[in-house]
């Protein structure tokens, strides 16, 4: 009974489909044009990716232009290679501690003190 | 007057034509028809689906990318195969195209899923967000996807290769109707819908940021 129903449904669908005059060529043209939008978005994503690679490479002391060209030509493979070989980001060196030298005893003293903690000399 | 079957096949071929050259010598003949895309694209688009199957083996707590060396080793063969043929250095075979395509697809999916959370609003996606890493830190050495996952992906790719290869040349229509919808849905999902999703998520993030600022 289920098979009978499915066959009936199938025949109805085919019958309806045959009745509708589908402008296949125009539909294809429309669909093809609509499909250009995602392709354009992929293009924009690729450009943004290349820009990111350039900036990231420059920030790591590598040649941004070279890696931009590599990623442009090699695509996803170029990106993977870049992620593998890129250098560590240079960390900013710790700031040197600010100290003063006592004019009396010549030892290092903190900058904010008014008297030398070693010899007791009053500081200007 | 074309039948419904012919119309669907025509639609499949139309979608395939948008993304593939469909050269008959490089396309698998299954169920008395050519598949909608060439052997390489068949492998790649089906491989993308296999890639999703290995995501349950991810390490949820880690933030590092999928092992980039393994990703490179799996994606490079297809590029090398295609490029060497393009420059006229050699001619590939459909088996090689299919296998390299499968490996490419399997390796690409984890990378795509790993990179998508770069857009913060993507974490609002239902169900899918459960597969994202906690954070995206490409410099992190602890990989979000284990070697076991890639091992499983490789095994599934090889198994799929043998299954599809055995279907090739068969006149059983069932095989065509099994593979073609999978290929076409993969094309539509990854080539057409994914960039629109990325655009929508990015736009939502930028709008949210602008509202917060002012």
Question: pLDDT, tens digit, for every residue of B68-115?
Answer: 999 999 999 999 999 999 898 888 899 999 999 999 999 999 999 999
Q: How many helices (H) and strands (E) does chain A have?
A: 5, 2
Closest CA of chain A from B196, distance in Å: 6
Q: Where are the alpha helices (DSSP H) in A60-109?
A: 64-74, 76-85
Closest CA of chain B from A89, distance in Å: 9
Q: Report pLDDT for A1.
A: 62
Per-residue confidence band for B36, with pLDDT thresholds at 50, 70 and 90: very high
In A, what residues contact B, Cβ < 8 A? Answer: 13-14, 17-18, 22, 24, 28, 31-32, 35, 37-39, 41-42, 45, 74-77, 80-81, 83-84, 88-89
**Ranges of each domain in chain A:** 10-88
Mean pLDDT over all residues of chain B?
A: 90
Alpha carbon distance B35, B28 (integer Å): 6
C-beta atoms of B196 and A76 within 8 A: no
Alpha carbon distance A68, A51 (integer Å): 7
Per-residue confidence band for B2, with pLDDT thresholds at 50, 70 and 90: low
**Residues of chain A positioned with their CB less than 8 A from the CB of B7:** 17, 22
Size of interface A-B (CB pairs under 8 A): 52
Reported as type and span, the H/E element at residue B34 is strand B33-34
Q: Report pLDDT for B72.
A: 94
Encode chain A (124 residues) as per-residue pLDDT tens digits: 666 777 777 777 666 655 555 566 777 778 778 888 898 999 999 999 999 999 999 999 889 999 999 998 888 899 999 999 988 877 766 666 677 888 888 888 888 888 888 888 888 6
Residue B124 reports pLDDT greater than 90: no
């Amino acid at each position: 009974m289920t098979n009978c129903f499915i066959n009936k449904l199938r025949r109805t669908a085919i019958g309806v489909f045959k009745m509708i005059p589908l402008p296949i060529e125009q539909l294809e043209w429309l669909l093809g044009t609509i499909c250009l939008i995602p392709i354009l978005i992929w293009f924009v994503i690729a450009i943004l990716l290349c820009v990111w690679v350039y900036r990231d490479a420059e920030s790591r002391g590598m040649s941004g232009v070279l890696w931009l060209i590599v990623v442009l030509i090699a695509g996803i493979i170029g990106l993977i290679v870049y992620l593998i070989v890129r250098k560590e980001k240079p960390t900013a060196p710790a700031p040197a501690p600010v100290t003063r030298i006592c004019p009396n005893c010549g030892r290092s003293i903190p900058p904010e003190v008014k008297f030398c903690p070693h010899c007791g000399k009053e500081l200007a | 007057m074309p039948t419904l079957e012919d119309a669907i096949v025509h639609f499949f071929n139309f979608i395939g034509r948008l993304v593939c050259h469909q050269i008959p010598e490089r396309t698998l003949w299954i169920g008395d028809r050519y598949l909608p895309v060439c052997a390489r694209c068949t492998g790649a688009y089906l491989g993308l689906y296999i890639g999703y199957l290995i995501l349950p083996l991810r390490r949820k707590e880690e933030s590092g990318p999928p092992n980039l060396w393994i990703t490179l080793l799996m994606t490079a063969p297809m590029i090398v195969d295609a490029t060497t043929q393009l420059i006229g250095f050699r001619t590939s075979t459909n088996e090689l195209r299919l296998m390299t395509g499968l490996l490419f697809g399997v390796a690409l999916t984890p990378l795509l899923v790993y990179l998508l959370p770069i857009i913060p609003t993507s974490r609002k996606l239902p169900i899918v967000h459960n597969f994202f890493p906690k954070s995206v830190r490409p410099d992190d050495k602890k990989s979000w996807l284990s070697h076991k996952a890639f091992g499983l992906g490789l095994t599934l790719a090889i198994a799929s290769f043998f299954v599809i290869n055995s279907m090739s040349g068969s006149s059983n229509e069932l095989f065509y109707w099994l593979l073609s919808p999978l290929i076409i849905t993969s094309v539509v999902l990854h080539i057409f819908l994914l960039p629109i999703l990325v655009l929508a998520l990015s736009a939502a993030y930028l709008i949210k940021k602008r509202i917060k600022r002012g």
